Homo-oligomer: A and B are copies of this chain.
């Protein structure tokens, strides 16, 4: 077990009818909010009305910044920074899924920075401060509601890069599982796959395979995601399944699932970021394509031990091959694509995808070269 630091100051308010509770929390930090949201689903599921009503009651003025894309783009982040500055916003409120929260984080950091916000993503600058951020989560998937990272795509350079910093932890996040009841089936699938991806990256790339407690936590959360997703697909109105899924997804990327693993990398994410930077594909769907291929590569290069352990604990499988098949079966069951061809991405594009992925791989200091990435992608044809 390797040394680690765990520190997560985000306060979570979880359950039925908790959305309005965000307003008094936000009022402690400011009086002028930039309200960040996406394509308008929060107007259909009631979150918009409840939240804006509660904010008004606290005397908080609202500047709206909506239209965040599923993979948030730099130009829209810049527009949000401009808007927040013009309105003298002193807090940022995000209402939506991980993309909305990620864009809100980039804006929160950008407003307080004299340089260009992309500098945080390209590695030219470090995030020193940010406006206080509050979130109302409506899509369990990315864990952004309780971590200090964000991912933004630069449309000009087709780079989907990430930025991190303790200042980006949301102060408070409200998680109401009822707001997830109306999610389209594809988004349920993407969220499940994304959560699994967060759980497996550390587990399978750890420099230390003797971390009993964290292995157990990863197994526990993976089992919960898989069981809850199965229940949701069977009965979308199953509140307890929605609730377990929502909290599992948060815990999958709040720091808990990697404690003690020491050196690790986000190889599946790096490859997937290339897919969603280049194609109109959801992050979860891209991950469902990359992961089985990477597992096969992992088996060839690192041996069966970790796949066997994970498979036995989570799927009840015996061999590494059976574990990979079980992953694939689960992704298929959710309706996610598990091959490039199923997402209509031509195999001829593999060198281009791999070249794009290398940008992030170098940025993150990971030791992989383009031929290896192409080899992995060839297993996803």
Contacts and interface: CB of A to CB of B under 8 A. Distances in A.
A245 B212 CA distance: 9
A213 interface: yes
22 contacts: A1-B240, A1-B244, A1-B247, A2-B15, A3-B14, A3-B16, A6-B12, A208-B240, A210-B240, A211-B240, A211-B244, A212-B227, A212-B241, A213-B221, A213-B244, A213-B247, A216-B223, A217-B221, A219-B220, A244-B260, A247-B259, A247-B260
Given A213-B228, A213-B248, A221-B216, A11 B2 contact: no
Given A212-B240, A221-B216, A228-B212, A7 B11 contact: yes
Contacts of A248: 212-213
A1 B217 contact: no
A18 interface: yes
A221 B259 CA distance: 14
Interface in A1-56: 1-16, 18
A192 to B, nearest CB: 13
Interface residues of A, number: 45
Interface centre among A1, A210, A240, A248 (most CB of B within 10 A): A1
Interface string A97-121: 0000000000000000000000000
A243 interface: yes
Interface in A225-245: 227-228, 239-241, 243-245
A230 B96 CA distance: 45
A69 to B, nearest CB: 30
A317 interface: no
A378 interface: no
A140 to B, nearest CB: 11
Contacts of A5: 11-14
A152 interface: no
Interface centre among A4, A245, A259 (most CB of B within 10 A): A4
Given A12-B6, A211-B244, A1 B239 contact: yes
A50 to B, nearest CB: 15
A61 interface: no
A181 to B, nearest CB: 14
Contacts of A219: 220
A137 interface: no
A3 B178 CA distance: 12
B9 A9 contact: yes
A169 to B, nearest CB: 10
Given A6-B14, A13-B5, A243 B216 contact: no
Nearest to A218: B220
A224 B210 CA distance: 12
A113 B245 CA distance: 43
Interface string A236-273: 00011101110110010000100110000000000000
A251 B259 CA distance: 12
Given A220-B216, A244-B211, A247-B259, A15 B4 contact: yes
Nearest to A249: B213
